[in-house]
């Protein structure tokens, strides 16, 4: 009997950096992980669920209000199966929601319901990243045991090169392996 594949939930949020989710999904799949993608409505404005469905080999979750299998609500069923939750890209919005306990979509509900490690890969404008509220939310989440990778200095959607660029795929995968042991 082969060992159980590690299950990574990949939360994709509304950022131009959502394109990186494709490379992350593909690379993790190649390395034997089972990838289940959860996309926010905003993320689907940048890349399609179909793309990530084809790359992951699993149905992409976009809606909390689909009928549950059996008696398990979807968000808790996903949360219970996860070995790790990766949010890439992690916007100021999702970071703020989790720091404030706001559960208004399938991704935020799943993150708050899981006991698995959660890794955030922030991606946003440098001014947003350096805003006091975002800094405070990140500090709070780190204090609670959440892990962050990046952001890096790089080209941002506004055209500037500054802090706020999502970390490169190799660094994210290396961090996943470290967190999962």
How far is CA 134 from each of CA 11, 58, 70, 100, 142, rounded to the nearest angstrom?
19, 32, 39, 11, 12
| Sign of the torsion formed by the C-alpha atoms of 7, 95, 107 and 39 | negative
Nearest CA to 77 out of 89, 91, 86, 64 is that of 64
Strands 118-122 and 147-148: parallel
| Residues recognised as catalytic | 158
Rg of the chain over Cα atoms, rounded to whole angstroms, equals 15
């Amino acid at each position: 009997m082969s060992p159980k594949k590690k299950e990574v939930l990949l939360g994709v949020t509304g950022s131009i950096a959502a394109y990186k989710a494709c490379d992350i999904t593909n690379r993790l799949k190649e390395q034997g992980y089972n990838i289940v993608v959860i996309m926010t409505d905003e993320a689907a404005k940048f890349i399609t669920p179909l793309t990530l469905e084809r790359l992951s080999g699993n149905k992409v979750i976009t809606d909390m209000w689909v009928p549950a299998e059996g008696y398990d609500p979807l968000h808790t069923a996903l949360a219970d199966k996860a070995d790790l939750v990766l949010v890439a890209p992690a916007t100021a919005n999702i970071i703020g929601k989790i720091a404030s306990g706001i559960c208004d979509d399938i991704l935020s509900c799943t993150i708050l319901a899981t006991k698995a490690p959660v890794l955030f890969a922030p991606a946003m404008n440098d001014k947003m990243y350096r805003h006091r509220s975002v800094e405070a939310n990140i500090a709070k989440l780190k204090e609670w045991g959440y892990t962050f990778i990046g952001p890096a200095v790089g080209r941002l959607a506004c055209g500037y090169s500054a802090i706020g660029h999502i970390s490169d795929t190799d660094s994210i995968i290396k961090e996943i392996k470290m967190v999962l042991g």
